[in-house]
Structure 1
Amino acid sequence: MCHNTTPAHKAATPPQIGPAMPEFAPVRLPHYDGRASGPHSLLADVAAWTGSEPMGRLLELFGGALPGAGTAEDLAYLEAFSADHWDFRAGRERHETAPQPLHPEQEQAVAEAALALGLGADARPRLQHYTHVLVLGGLVASCLFRTRFAADLLESGTTADHVTGVGGFRPLGGPDLESAASSGIDCGSFEVDAIEASLKRAFGIDGEPAVDEGGDPHREPARAWKVATYTAGPVTVRAVAAPSSKPDLRRADTVDTCRFWADRVADLAPGDSVLVVTSAPYTAFQHCDAITHMGLPYGCAVDTVSVDPATLPEPHFRKAHTASGYLQEVRSAIRSMQRLYGIAYAAVQAPPQIPRQKHARSAAIR
Structure 2
Amino acid sequence: MVGLLEALGARAPIVQAPMAGAGGAALAIAAIRGGAVGSLPCAMLTPAQLAAQVAEVHAAAHGPLNLNFFCHHLPEPAPDERAWHALLAPYYAEEGVEPGPVPPLRRPFDEALCAAVEKARPAIVSFHFGLPGEALLARVRGTGALVFGNATTPEEMRWLAARGVDAVIAQGAEAGGHSGWFLGAAHRPTPLAVLLAEEIAVPVIAAGGIVDGADIARALAAGASAVQLGTAFLAARESAISAPFRALLGTRVPTEFTNLFSGGEAQGIRNRLMRELGPIRGEVPAFPYGSNALAPLRAHAEADGRGDYSPLWAGTGVAQVRAMGAEELVGTLVAELAQARAGA
Quick check: TM above 0.5? no
TM superposition score normalised by structure 2: 0.31
Q: Which has the higher contact order (CA 8 A, sep 6+)?
A: 1
TM superposition score normalised by structure 1: 0.30
Structure number with greater Rg is: 1
